[in-house]
């Protein structure tokens, strides 16, 4: 059995409850560049993960502050998944990932860093995108600054999708 270690996530997990307010609600009302927002829809937003597993790792979240998946309205669920799909299209155009991990972490025990505002992770993957740096040096190497990734994905976002 092989293990994938992500020690840089421990810092985030330990401090997740210390952050004032909700990161997703702050993104809904905040500045796109500062909050790493890629796209604003009618019922949901897409934003980069500030603590990514890989370059281009983004999340989609409903605009409404909702803590339980089953509280989402049908139109919210549809828009969340459409935004995830649109973001995957933008990632494919810009970075050509070889695969994706999509996931809902619902509840702290399931790995949710933010437990009271549901969100879907979209993580692009490439062959060999894991290396020794996180394990040996507790350093995550990303080839591009988050601000640049945000700008490029926002510009590549498909036109007309919930604008």
Task: Tell me the DSSP string of the chain.
Answer: ------THHHHHHHHGGGSSS-HHHHHHHS-HHHHTEEEE-SSEEEEE-SS-SSTT-EEEEESS----GGGS-HHHHHHHHHHHHHHHHHHHHHH--SEEEEEE--SGGGT-SS-SS--EEEEEE-TT---SHHHHHS----SS-HHHHHHHHHHHSPTTS--
The answer to whether 121 is a known catalytic residue is no
**37-40 and 99-104 strand pairing:** unpaired
Q: Which of 39, 57, 117, 119 is catalytic?
A: 119
Nearest-Å Rg of the Cα atoms of the chain is 15
Residues taking part in catalysis: 119
């Amino acid at each position: 059995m092989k293990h994938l270690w992500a020690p840089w996530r421990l810092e985030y997990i330990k401090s997740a409850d210390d952050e004032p307010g909700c990161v997703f609600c702050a993104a809904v009302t905040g500045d796109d560049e500062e909050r790493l927002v890629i796209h604003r829809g009618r019922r949901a937003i897409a934003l980069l993960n500030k603590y990514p597993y890989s370059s281009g790792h983004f999340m989609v979240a409903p605009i409404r502050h909702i803590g339980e998946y089953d509280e989402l309205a049908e139109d919210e669920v549809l828009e969340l998944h459409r935004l995830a799909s649109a973001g995957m299209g933008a990632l494919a155009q810009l970075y050509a990932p070889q695969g994706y991990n999509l996931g809902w972490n619902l509840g702290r025990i399931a790995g949710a860093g933010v437990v009271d505002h549901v969100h879907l992770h979209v993580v692009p993957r490439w062959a060999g995108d894991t290396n020794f740096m996180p394990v040996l040096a507790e350093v995550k190497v990303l080839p591009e600054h988050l601000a640049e990734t945000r700008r490029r994905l926002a510009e590549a976002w498909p036109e007309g999708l919930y604008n």
